[in-house]
Structure 1
Amino acid sequence: LRFFLQQGTSIEITDSDNITVLNEFMEFPNAYGIRAGSSSNITISGGVIFFAGSGSVRMDGVRSVVLSNFNLTTQFGIPAAVRGDSSEVEIRNCTMSSGVRGLFVESSRGISVLDCDLGSGYNSTNILGSANISLENCTVQGASLGPWVEDSSFVSIGNCTVRAVSFPLYLSGSDNVSVTNGSFNSSSMDGMISAKCRNLTFGDNELWNTGIVIRGDEAVFWDSHDISTTNRVNGRPVLYHSRSGEDPIPGSYGQVIVANCTSVTLGGMLLNGTPYPLQVGFSNMVTLLNMTVRDCTAGAFLRGSDSTTLADSTFFRCEKGIELLDSHWNWIYNCTVYSGDLGIIWDVSSNNTLFRCSLGPDLDFGIDILSTVEGRTSDDNVIRNCSFSGIAYLGVNLKDSFGTRIVESDFSDSMWGLWTSDGDREVGEITVEDSSFTNLSMGGVRTGLVYDVLVSGCHFGNCGNATMAVGSSGFEFSSNILRDNYRAFHMLNVNDVLIYNNLIVNSHPGDVLFHDIRWNISRTPGENIIGGPYLGGNYWSDYNGRDLDGDGIGDEDVPFGPGDHLPLQYDLVPPTIEDVTEGYPTTGDVFGIRARPRDERGEVHPTLEYWFGDDTEHIN
């Protein structure tokens, strides 16, 4: 029969048995081409369903159905759908194209799909909440997504070829899934995702521009699989090292996955062209040395792993160079990350150290320290002796984090050095010490709605704003050198802020609005930023008041600038010494040599020298 522009469904089979449909041609049915429900022993073979509105073939609650040799095409619907507790359905030698999905299987069991072209639509195959499903000798060409298996069990995908735009395979919440003898390719280099799955088997697969990506918040989602080295990524074997305390066999691998291991060491590898080339999940005391990772989504990914050492490694052309998720007490040392989107991300990760690492150039962001889990934060992380240079936007970006320390690090040639979030993201207890911020177009340190910040011993040069604070409280900015910045300070709606003992040269004091700021402490003995004997306020290069009593603190034109009552001054009065020795020495008697030194800067220790009359001897 030939059906053309049928209003509704062309053929509907309900509560029937032993039905055969042969060689039908259906063009532009408004609803479905063929719809079968609550029926059994159905054979549908040989035909074309062209541009069905809702879908080409839909089966609900059917049993013992064979669908074969059909060309199934839809414009917006699903070419073939098996739903509603259907069972014993065989689909073979069919072509499915266009539509939102190719094949859709839901809440069914015992479904076999053989020798089918599963389409080029958005999603080639969906298997949801089903069991005992097999896809054999099937192809996917040009679909956005390959097979998607969710909340299903005992699924077999064998001898299939998938060429997807995005994810060639996505497994979620499933168990006992077998993927063998296949070829998978992603034109956008997305991974074959295993999200919260158990007991997966991967064997003899060829993976090009893709790789196996494991996700899950429990060790069993990482360590319960059988992934052999017969799988190859870009021509090199996959190393899956699980539940071990021994080092893996050295080799040239295309991808490395370490799952639930302790005290293992890997090193000297080149990994590239796969989304997540280096994954460490739920492991402890893993050492990764001398790695070169490039052209990927995340160069090194640690999930639930602690006390890992990552050293002497290079990451470039990655969306994220190094990613830590819920991982703690890790040590990243002497690594270089450049040319990508984000250098490093620490998510819900605490007590980690970044030491002697170089980030940039050609990164959008240096390091993000944050939390994507509500109610948790990333705390007590340390960045020490690191370089951030040539980063487009932010060197360090803090969100939902406390106790971050940045020490002896350099920030240059970027927009901002340190940036903290505004709004409802919790940030506090930040320490920045002995670091350098230069050539930053917007500024060095910018804090928003944070509390307890210490910036001390730092150098700021040629920055838009040396420091900017919006809505911050408990902020101390002390013992810093600021030279040639457009603005020294930009403060808005801040409280409990202390700014003292800074050297400010050729930098406009800045904008200070709606503030509670102290610009000096009380006059306190101790060496200040310009070498004077007292701590007090700040040194301002444009302060022209005089120091009347010579104590190194200006006495005129105070308070100066935004409110400095004790501006620091260089000591311009030289010290004096007066010889007050009386009488002459007598042989055998004690003779006192006396002098009266004076310096307003404080205590003086003079050197006294006495020459005997013959000019040949002297004593000190």
Structure 2
Amino acid sequence: ENAIGRRKAGVYLNSVDHCNISNNNASNNYVGIWLDSSSNNMITNNSMKFNSYGIYLFSSCTNTLTNNTANLNEIYGIFLSASTNNNLTNNNLTNNKRRSLYVSGKCNNSIDLTNIGGYDGKPIRYEHDITGITIKNTDAYSEIEFCNVNTSTIDNVTIYNGDLKSDGIILEYSNNNTITNSNSSSNFRGILLMFSNNNTISNNTLNSNYFGLCVWDSSNNCQLINNTVNSNNNLGISLWDSSNNTLTNNTVNSNNYCGIYLYASSNNLIYNNYFNNTNNAFDDDNNIWNITKQKGTNIMGGPYLGGNYWSDYTGEDTDGDGLGDTPYNIAGGSNKDYLPLVPTQVLPVHNLNTHENFSTIQGAIYDNNTTDGHIIEVDPGTYHENVKVNKSLTIRSASGNPADTIIQAANPDDHVFEVTADYVNISRFTVEGANGSRKAGIYINNAEYCNVSSNNASGNYYGIVCSGSNNILLSNIAVNNSEDGIYVQFETNTTLKNNITISNNDSGIEICHWSYNNTLIGNIALNNTKGIFMWGSHYAIFRNNTMSGNDYNFGIGSYHGEISEYIHDIDTSNTVDGKPIYYLVEEKDVLLDASTNAGYVGLISCDNITVRDLTLTKNEHGILLVNTTGSTLQDNTLLNNWQGIAVWHSSDNNVITNNTIRDSGCGGGINIWESKNNLIYHNNMIGGCQFAIDNRNDNSWDNGPIEGGNYWSIHTCTGNPSNGSQPYYIDADSIDHYPFQDQSGWLGMKRLNIVQAQTDKLIYNLSESVTISCILQNETGANITVDTVNVEIIKPDTSIERIALIEGLIGNYNGTFINTSLVGTYNVTIYVNKTGYINDTAELSFAVKVINEFIPIFEEVCKGGEDPSIIIENNGVIHVSHYEGWHSVSGRHSYIKYSKWDGLSWSCENIEDWYEKGGGWTDIDIDSNGLPYIAYFKGFDWGAAKAAWYDGSWNREEVESGYQNCWMGNHIAMALDSNDNAHIAYE
């Protein structure tokens, strides 16, 4: 250390190759480690602090710089000058004063995202020798550097390094690129161009840097358009040794040393810019500071284009054309702006009630003659204001076109419009530039009955914020805001209708914090980080809202863990990426399958819902369960959701099986919160930030050693399933004891199935033997021999006996139970086992009665009893048909009825109403499947009919019709032949 003389270093290599420089502390020098014309060296695990340069490579190639800490240096962390093919990985370059990383002269170095810089340790994005890349919609980097990168785009990027440490966006030797809609503030240099030509720098915010926008070192033919360059410590815009550039529509305010500074730069065109600085301009060469006078709205709202607006211009505009009569002198030489802009004589803001005119919207509002109910109309132009609305006014653009009436925040750390009065209407403006933390284009601050419509809120921190009640947000556009397009909190009875939110860095629309009874209709959320999200809100209505192309399209959540925060009316007219949202509240026994084409599923206080065969992508949750029980989620694919499946707030006794959950965010592939007795097995958990969350320990993440658990792509185990020695640990003592080695490893598992489990009869006499039999098949349906078939019989006195079944033909097993000494019902369970197979069970029952002697038994089978017919199957099942008879109370005939004894109890049901269709004289038979056929007289239709049971209902058919004095169907009789064809005879 202490090698502080110029060109002195802690470690210095000159023309030396193949050295290893590691584990050194090279601090408090001019250069920490310096390689001069040296190649193939390793520089690892060194610390360089409080130097001018941390590491400096000059004309040095093919070196490796890894795991070094070069921070708190006065100029650069690492400086590569005329050096190529060097490899930089995992270096910490934070908190250096000017730049974390500087590559000069040669571009071909490998610098990946493991290198971090700036003040908060974000990755450095370095691209070189490439064409046609895009970096868009991100704040992930501490510095972006293009070196020999051409025809590429940086769009909607935020770089903030605090304390003026490190540059923001750098182009070196890079041509034909576009930097737009980005915010590079509180850096050493906001945007820096060096040796870079034909680039377009537009619509950027470059505030509070040391230098704002720098076009240096022969950067020519560039377009600098509509940038905001305010409050920089030194120069706002600077051109050094650069020519033929065009600067127009830029706002350059409150820069400490100079607004715009041109040094050794010529033939640049600077016009229609807004300069308000202590020292507005310096130019020591020959440049052009105005164009020829021509019609067009200038940056001051005047009718002509010419030069620039200068805050210190003292000339007059005697003809009122908005152009000064005398030139503005540019410091540093003899250059002049011959057509400086001045405010026009016709004031652009009008109170239509008092007929007074004003230069600003704020002036119109604060005027003593302006009172509640007045209309303020604003002419086209760009207004640099932060407007406070404390009266009940209508404020609107005169043209009705937001594109030509722009309200731009004079102070980016304040709202463009802040409304604190009730009954305010704001319409048809573009509001922009309120990009300070938590500032909005339009902010409704605890006001009610306001209407905000047809505005374009762009380039703010929030687009529109609403906090109050009974407000209306109608047909607004919110684009490219740093956080939410529209943010609603503490709102009741507010309507959001036909708003469009595009490319906002957080939500397109977010509703949160105790908001009640709000309605969203016909809103569109496109290409935001989140589409429409609602948190901690109650009883909202959603209709015809469209969410598409967002990272996460839709989400509902709770701040306070209350079920009421999920009770909303959201129907299938709402879509995510073109698919309907299914949001069920207090429903049961519903199937949601592929036929629904659902894009999001929410189940709130539901029971027995089946969700299967769906593909659910890019939402806060693929499937959300809240207070939902007894439901099954199976065979679904859930991709790129923040949480794949959320099981929250007393969602108990659900089954989650055979789903594929891939690339979920940090909310977890499956997230279980305050819910119990859920069974989760045979799911593929692949990729993503976090696989599973469970804050309890009473859910089952496997189905035992045979069925196994789930597949976890980050977990290594052996076997499908594994044997329990390689569990996957979740949290809260939740464990998948038997994870699978392979994805969908359970699909290859062998399975046993019991078919035709039965007894030879349903009813037996005392001490009569019972034959129990079944057929066993494998997963393909082929009969199979197993290891054991055991039967457990629970007798009427609850005692248990067991027998084994013996195989006859392959897969056919039977056995005999002889201890039927008790009258009553015997419940039977068959257990089968075969090594290497998933086993099966079956349940059945039979009854024992005293039937060996005739003892008359009388019991009421069913109401009524005229014209009965009876048939008994071999297994003791009894079928009866009859006519209910005449109702003496109602004075009318009644039903044809069917009764059945299944061995345990009687059932009775109506077939047809006599008064309508039915009648008397019944006869019954059964087909080869044991299903009943009944013939009967049709009553007031005076004809013959039959009824047959199939497919779960009675199917009735007229045999022959009659009329009142010619009855067809008296004394009817029926029999079925061997082909189950009915033959009917009647009078």
TM bin (shorter chain): 0.5 to 0.7
- Which amino acid letter does the alignment assign opposite residue 56 of structure 1? N
The structural deviation recorded for 1:323 is 0.9
Decide which of 536, 553, 568 is 1:211's aligned counterpart: 553
For each residue in 1:1-50, what CA deviation from the matched residue of structure 2 results, as whole angstroms up to 9, or x when unmatched?
Answer: 989869xxx9xxxxx99656657368xxxxx7776499423332224785
Q: Name the CA distance, whole Å, in 1 between partners of 2:377 and 2:730.
A: 60
Decide which of 413, 424, 447 is 1:76's aligned counterpart: 413
Asked if the contact 1:25/1:47 (under 8 Å) is kept, the reply is: no
2:477 aligned partner:
139
Q: Partner of 2:608: helix, strand, or coil?
A: coil
Q: Name the CA distance, whole Å, in 2 between partners of 1:77 and 1:111.
A: 20
1:268 aligns with 2:613: yes
- Which amino acid letter does the alignment assign opposite residue 315 of structure 1? I
Decide which of 214, 227, 232 is 2:570's aligned counterpart: 227
- Which amino acid letter does the alignment assign opposite residue 145 of structure 1? D
Q: What is the TM-score of this pair, normalised by structure 2?
A: 0.34
The structural deviation recorded for 1:212 is 2.9
1:180 aligns with 2:521: yes
Q: What is the TM-score of this pair, normalised by structure 1?
A: 0.54
Residues 96 and 386 from structure 1, CA distance in 2 versus in 1: closer, same or farther, beyond 3 angstroms? farther
Decide which of 643, 655, 667 is 1:309's aligned counterpart: 655
Asked if the contact 2:711/2:739 (under 8 Å) is kept, the reply is: no
Residues 387 and 91 from structure 1, CA distance in 2 versus in 1: closer, same or farther, beyond 3 angstroms? farther
1:159 aligns with 2:498: yes
Alignment of 1:279-298 (within 5 A): 279-298=624-643
Q: Name the CA distance, whole Å, in 2 between partners of 1:386 and 1:149.
A: 50
Residues 197 and 404 from structure 1, CA distance in 2 versus in 1: closer, same or farther, beyond 3 angstroms? closer
Residues 22 and 324 from structure 1, CA distance in 2 versus in 1: closer, same or farther, beyond 3 angstroms? farther
2:453 aligned partner:
114
For each residue in 1:349-373, what CA deviation from the matched residue of structure 2 results, as whole angstroms up to 9, or x when unmatched?
Answer: 341111133444358x99xxxxxxx
Residues 33 and 246 from structure 1, CA distance in 2 versus in 1: closer, same or farther, beyond 3 angstroms? farther
Residues 198 and 17 from structure 1, CA distance in 2 versus in 1: closer, same or farther, beyond 3 angstroms? same
Q: Percent identity?
A: 16
Q: Partner of 1:40: helix, strand, or coil?
A: coil
Q: Partner of 1:246: helix, strand, or coil?
A: strand
Residues 222 and 386 from structure 1, CA distance in 2 versus in 1: closer, same or farther, beyond 3 angstroms? farther
- Which amino acid letter does the alignment assign opposite residue 623 of structure 2? L
Q: Partner of 2:689: helix, strand, or coil?
A: strand
The structural deviation recorded for 1:328 is 1.6
Residues 146 and 388 from structure 1, CA distance in 2 versus in 1: closer, same or farther, beyond 3 angstroms? farther
In structure 2, list runs of 5 or more residues that go unmatched: 1-299, 302-308, 313-342, 344-350, 399-404, 703-707, 743-987
Decide which of 26, 42, 46 is 2:374's aligned counterpart: 42
Residues 35 and 350 from structure 1, CA distance in 2 versus in 1: closer, same or farther, beyond 3 angstroms? farther
Q: Partner of 2:566: helix, strand, or coil?
A: helix
Q: Name the CA distance, whole Å, in 1 between partners of 2:618 and 2:693.
A: 21
The structural deviation recorded for 1:340 is 1.0
Asked if the contact 1:34/1:56 (under 8 Å) is kept, the reply is: no
- Which amino acid letter does the alignment assign opposite residue 341 of structure 1? C
Q: Name the CA distance, whole Å, in 2 between partners of 1:362 and 1:239.
A: 32
2:729 aligned partner:
396
Residues 242 and 110 from structure 1, CA distance in 2 versus in 1: closer, same or farther, beyond 3 angstroms? same
For each residue in 1:295-328, what CA deviation from the matched residue of structure 2 results, as whole angstroms up to 9, or x when unmatched?
Answer: 2211111111111111111111211211112222
The structural deviation recorded for 1:407 is 3.6
Q: Name the CA distance, whole Å, in 2 between partners of 1:291 and 1:386.
A: 27
Decide which of 242, 251, 261 is 2:585's aligned counterpart: 242
- Which amino acid letter does the alignment assign opposite residue 71 of structure 1? I
Q: Partner of 2:680: helix, strand, or coil?
A: strand
In structure 1, list runs of 5 or more residues that go unmatched: 11-15, 27-31, 367-382, 390-394, 413-620
- Which amino acid letter does the alignment assign opposite residue 509 of structure 2? L
- Which amino acid letter does the alignment assign opposite residue 571 of structure 2? S
For each residue in 1:190-235, what CA deviation from the matched residue of structure 2 results, as whole angstroms up to 9, or x when unmatched?
Answer: 2522112112111111111343311122222112x21111111101
Residues 139 and 404 from structure 1, CA distance in 2 versus in 1: closer, same or farther, beyond 3 angstroms? closer
Asked if the contact 1:239/1:257 (under 8 Å) is kept, the reply is: yes
Residues 131 and 245 from structure 1, CA distance in 2 versus in 1: closer, same or farther, beyond 3 angstroms? same
Q: Partner of 1:197: helix, strand, or coil?
A: strand
Residues 261 and 71 from structure 1, CA distance in 2 versus in 1: closer, same or farther, beyond 3 angstroms? same
The structural deviation recorded for 1:278 is 1.1
Q: Name the CA distance, whole Å, in 2 between partners of 1:95 and 1:333.
A: 53
Q: Name the CA distance, whole Å, in 2 between partners of 1:152 and 1:362.
A: 44
Q: Name the CA distance, whole Å, in 2 between partners of 1:278 and 1:36.
A: 52
Aligned length, in residue pairs: 365
Residues 147 and 384 from structure 1, CA distance in 2 versus in 1: closer, same or farther, beyond 3 angstroms? farther
Q: Partner of 1:220: helix, strand, or coil?
A: helix
- Which amino acid letter does the alignment assign opposite residue 176 of structure 1? N
- Which amino acid letter does the alignment assign opposite residue 220 of structure 1? S
1:57 aligned partner:
387
Asked if the contact 1:358/1:386 (under 8 Å) is kept, the reply is: no
- Relative contact order, higher structure (CA 8 A, sep 6+): 1
Residues 204 and 385 from structure 1, CA distance in 2 versus in 1: closer, same or farther, beyond 3 angstroms? farther
Q: Name the CA distance, whole Å, in 2 between partners of 1:256 and 1:40.
A: 47
Residues 21 and 42 from structure 1, CA distance in 2 versus in 1: closer, same or farther, beyond 3 angstroms? farther
1:606 aligned partner:
none
1:168 aligns with 2:508: yes
Higher Cα radius of gyration: 2
Of stretches 288-297 and 38-47 in structure 1, the one that deviates more from structure 2 is 38-47
- Which amino acid letter does the alignment assign opposite residue 175 of structure 1? Y
Q: Name the CA distance, whole Å, in 1 between partners of 2:444 and 2:606.
A: 37
1:253 aligns with 2:594: no
Residues 318 and 409 from structure 1, CA distance in 2 versus in 1: closer, same or farther, beyond 3 angstroms? closer
2:432 aligned partner:
97
Q: Partner of 1:108: helix, strand, or coil?
A: strand
The structural deviation recorded for 1:274 is 2.6
For each residue in 1:562-601, what CA deviation from the matched residue of structure 2 results, as whole angstroms up to 9, or x when unmatched?
Answer: xxxxxxxxxxxxxxxxxxxxxxxxxxxxxxxxxxxxxxxx
C-alpha RMSD over aligned residues: 3.4
- Which amino acid letter does the alignment assign opposite residue 375 of structure 2? T
Asked if the contact 1:276/1:298 (under 8 Å) is kept, the reply is: yes
- Which amino acid letter does the alignment assign opposite residue 133 of structure 1? N
The structural deviation recorded for 1:71 is 1.7
Asked if the contact 2:626/2:648 (under 8 Å) is kept, the reply is: yes
Alignment of 1:374-523 (within 5 A): 396=729, 398=731, 401=732, 404=734, 407-408=737-738
The structural deviation recorded for 1:186 is 3.7
- Which amino acid letter does the alignment assign opposite residue 78 of structure 1? H
- Which amino acid letter does the alignment assign opposite residue 542 of structure 2? F
The structural deviation recorded for 1:119 is 1.9
